[in-house]
Amino acid sequence: MKQADVRPPFCRLSLAPSGHIKREYADGWRRGFLKMATFTEMGLSAPVEKALEMMGFESATDIQSQAIPVALSGQDVIGQAQTGTGKTVAFSIPVVEKIDVQSGALQAVILTPTRELCIQVAEEITKVGGVKGVRVLAVYGGQDINRQIRGLRNRPHVVVATPGRLMDHMNRGTLSLQNIVIAVLDEADEMLDMGFVEDIETILGACPQDRQTLLFSATMKRGVVQLARKFMRDFITVTVKASEVTVPTIEQEYYEVPEMQKLDVLTRLLDIHNPELAIVFGRTKRRVDELTNALQMRGYDADGLHGDLSQKQRDMVMNKFREGKLEVLVATDVAARGLDVSGVTHVYNFDIPQDIDSYVHRIGRTGRAGKSGIASTFVTPREVDHLHQIERITRHKIRRRPLPTFSEAKESKQRLAMEELLKASQAADLSSYRGFAEELLSQQDSMALVAGALKLLTKTRKEIPIRLTAEQPIRIRKPHGGRDRKGHGDHYRRPRQGYVRSDGRR
């Protein structure tokens, strides 16, 4: 049955070269809609609204406010948006709303270019669909395929996959797409750059023709347009400008530092910056645990936050942080999703994030409500190209800073002590201390006394030698890096015999 016409006011119709009708929203409608873009106004189901509330989401981003209502109507959607604009939630909500949890069939497939993004998207959909009871499975190269086969036997409703590994399962007969009602291509341009076009066409061809298709891409390259014309019907295009990705009130800087010197650089910066509240991001749970212990050993009030903590432990850590009882919160990306704490003045990317989405989310924990903030990123020499990629996509220059020295950190602590002493000396009533002051001056000269007071007030921390487990550097993915096979990007030919597309072509 054809969908009812759900066009909002100011919706423009045009004929695409493929012959399909293309609908685009005029800016006037888009701006008007964004002013009331809260999730509660979108007519979402109670389980999804509850899940979003638990995730701490309230207001929708530009891409979410434009794409979600249209996708919920059943229309195919092309979302041209950079990572970091909230596009994962923009397609997660329609996917979850589309799922019939009473059925044990696989109903949604989401394709991503990398295993890191695959895992991240699967985690996000699991959160959005958790209250409803949606079962989600991540399928990617580099993980034991037998483990994935066991996961498929649990009859997931949604599979998030890299194209290469999904093709492996299709050829093995361990996965069927015959009941798919919605398919999503995330970062379509990157998947095409990596050489996945044949796999994507085979996968979409194996899905029912009446499925809904959502495509998200940072750029609308020729290959992406051709793919949309071939596999999408009567699609609607929504666009978010790249200039909306980062917040102008955040000062972004980076330090090129060898892996084994990161801890020293971090503690020196903490002493120099003297943040009111700081969040330090680590890439893994192990990193968070080790870094938290290291900071505590060096005398900092720090605690960690990651997915292995119970809700009670998480609440305890967050309460301490909100109340200012913690100097530093060390967290993983997943644990910090939806984290909203006012007063965070500094964010430190101890490990550069895997993707742009995570970078924008991390630094967005500071510079909130129009206040200024500082985001410092540590990159090893082999990760500089990855940082430059972040600059290109966010269209923001990240300033390189020289590495801080121990003497600079020590001087900063001494100056802080001096400010505290000056502030104390200007207190309204010091009469009860004057007698002791006169007695001290009779025994020692004033210079020595002031120096002694500064020494007592200066919180000196020794750089205790601590060795953290090294993390593998993140390198920029080359455009022709080949297929997803055990996570190495090796070139190989996958067997295609025996697999027939839904239109009858091999």
Sorted by where each begins, the domain ranges of the chain are: 11-242, 250-406
Q: How far apart are CA 396 and CA 367, in angstroms?
A: 15
In single-letter form, the type of residue at position 88 comes to T
Q: Quick one: pLDDT at residue 242?
A: 52
184 bridge partner residues: 110, 214
Q: How far apart are CA 377 and CA 375, in angstroms?
A: 7
| Spans in the chain with pLDDT lower than 70 | 1-37, 58, 82-85, 241-247, 337-340, 369-370, 428, 457-458, 460, 475-506
What does pTM read for this prediction?
Answer: 0.53
Angle at the Cα of 363 from the Cα atoms of 357 and 369, rounded to 5 degrees = 115
Q: How far apart are CA 184 and CA 200, in angstroms?
A: 11
CATH of 11-242, one of 3.50.50.60, 3.40.47.10, 3.40.50.720, 3.40.50.300: 3.40.50.300
The region that residue 274 occupies, defined by phi over 0 for left and psi between -120 and 50 for alpha, beta otherwise, is left
Q: How many CB atoms lie within 10 A of CB 466?
A: 15
In single-letter form, the type of residue at position 284 comes to T
Give 383-402 pLDDT, tens digit per residue.
999 999 889 888 889 999 99
The answer to whether residues 474 and 383 touch, using CB atoms and an 8 Å cutoff, is yes
Helices 163-172 & 197-206, crossing angle to 10 degrees?
Answer: 50
Q: Which of 154, 125, 165, 96 is nearest to 334 (CA)?
A: 125
Q: How many CB atoms lie within 10 A of CB 487?
A: 15
Asked, colleague to colleague, whether 11-242 and 250-406 share their fold, the answer is: yes
Q: How far apart are CA 22 and CA 29, in angstroms?
A: 17
Q: Which of 216, 191, 195, 344 is nearest to 277 (CA)?
A: 344
Burial of 459 (0-12, 13-18, 19+ CB in 10 A): exposed
Per DSSP, the three-state class of 496 is coil
Q: Quick one: pLDDT at residue 247?
A: 66
256 bridge partner residues: 379
Q: Quick one: pLDDT at residue 18?
A: 39
For residue 376, the 8-state DSSP code is E
Q: Which helix (H) or strand (E) holds 250?
A: strand 250-256
Q: Name the one residue in this structure whose structure tokens are 């644990």.
A: 335
Q: Quick one: pLDDT at residue 246?
A: 60
Q: How far apart are CA 390 and CA 375, in angstroms?
A: 14
Q: Name the one residue in this structure whose structure tokens are 């091999």.
A: 506
CA 43, chain centre distance (Å)? 26
Fold exhibited by the domain 250-406: Rossmann fold (3.40.50)
Q: Which of 502, 506, 499 is nearest to 209 (CA)?
A: 502
Per DSSP, the three-state class of 406 is helix
Calculate the alpha carbon distances from 107 to 96, 208, 326, 332 in Å.
10, 11, 45, 30
Q: Quick one: pLDDT at residue 341?
A: 78
Sign of the CA dihedral with 360 first, then 365, 369, and 375 last: negative
Q: Quick one: pLDDT at residue 461?
A: 72
